Amino acid sequence: MRYLITGGAGFIGSHLAEELLQRGDSVTVLDNFSTGAHENLKRAEQSERFKLVYGSVTDKELVTECVKGVDKVYHLASAVGVKLIIEKPIETIETIVEGASIVFGACARYRLPVLLTSTSEVYGKSESLPFCEDSDSIIGPPKYRRWAYASAKALDEFLALAYWHQIKLPVVLVRLFNTVGPRQTGQYGMVIPRLIRQALAGQPLTVYGDGNQSRCFCHVNDAVRALIELLDQPECAGELFNVGSTEHITIAELAKKIIAETGSSSEISYVPYEEAYGQGFEDMRHRVPSLDKIEAQIGYKTEHNLSSIIQCIVSHEQGNDANTRLP
């Protein structure tokens, strides 16, 4: 099987590329390296069944050329991280919305199955836990740039499902809940790699707000396995699935856990949201997914708990990456 992965040089995309190559598939990655890194693809590039195309998903002609020779598409290309979203809202909205429109249009032309990775951010400020795929979204007002990402991703979902309902393009939608693992950068606000690097360096661990906001963290290998199995099953077309873990923890407790598991002497430094992201910043207090639907569909179960995730990332940061499978 031949696959195209947009945003394949990113953290999740590079792991997905390796897993597909590992099972014998061919993979083309389209990426402009705006947030991804060539370094992420060093193992994938050792395979003769791998091809890298430099470019943007907003380049309609290039995207059309890329989809011609493949059987299925993973659309992962997107702006990532709260910090980037706050600092560059124009790029965030244009990349997400225009990119998805071009990718879906190209897939429709050749009737290619396509999987869209969306985000738990779409649930917004809802307190109706756990979040089910058909739960209501509560998004903040447009004057707060923080909600641009959630709104743009929600529009992508509407567009994907419109292609399904109107022309039966086989689309699968996935809302990812805090996917973490080796290669994830803390540059754009990703909390676990940032806290681990601070702990290993003996620096204060910065926790934004009061630290009582909670999250569930999913190892990238668990997420990638779900992405592959969902696109493999034709009956998943036109459906939306949560992908994540239900093991939730507050960010303050996460910082304490990372300090303990790294043996660090670091302390915790609480930083007001306004200082980190500007005036009027709003955060989601809790993100806990319901995994009932994906469990029923593909028997999805996570194989990594939070402790193993932390140790995996610590090993990677220390240069002892055990996740080295290569086709």
Pick 282 or 42 by higher pLDDT.
42
Write the CB contacts of 323 (distance below 8 Å, at least 6 apart in sequence): 181, 182, 221, 312, 316
Dihedral Cα 262, 269, 130, 16, nearest 10 deg? -50
Number of Cα atoms under 13 Å in the Cβ half of residue 53: 21
pTM tops 0.85, yes or no? yes
Catalytic residue among 3, 74, 123, 149: 149
Quote the pLDDT of residue 188. Answer: 54
Strand ranges, E, within the chain:
2-6, 26-31, 50-54, 72-75, 114-119, 171-176, 179-180, 205-208, 214-216, 218-219, 239-243, 248-250, 268-271
pLDDT surpasses 90 at 289: yes
pLDDT digits (tens, 9 = 90+) for 127-174: 899 999 999 999 988 888 888 899 999 999 999 999 999 999 999 999
| Distance in angstroms (rounded) separating the CA atoms of residues 301 and 299 | 6
Tell me, yes or no, if 149 is annotated catalytic: yes
**What's the fold here for domain 2-180+218-244+288-302?**
Rossmann fold (3.40.50)
Quote the pLDDT of residue 326. Answer: 34
pLDDT digits (tens, 9 = 90+) for 208-233: 999 999 999 999 999 999 999 999 99
User: If you average pLDDT over residues 82-96, what whole number do you get?
Assistant: 82
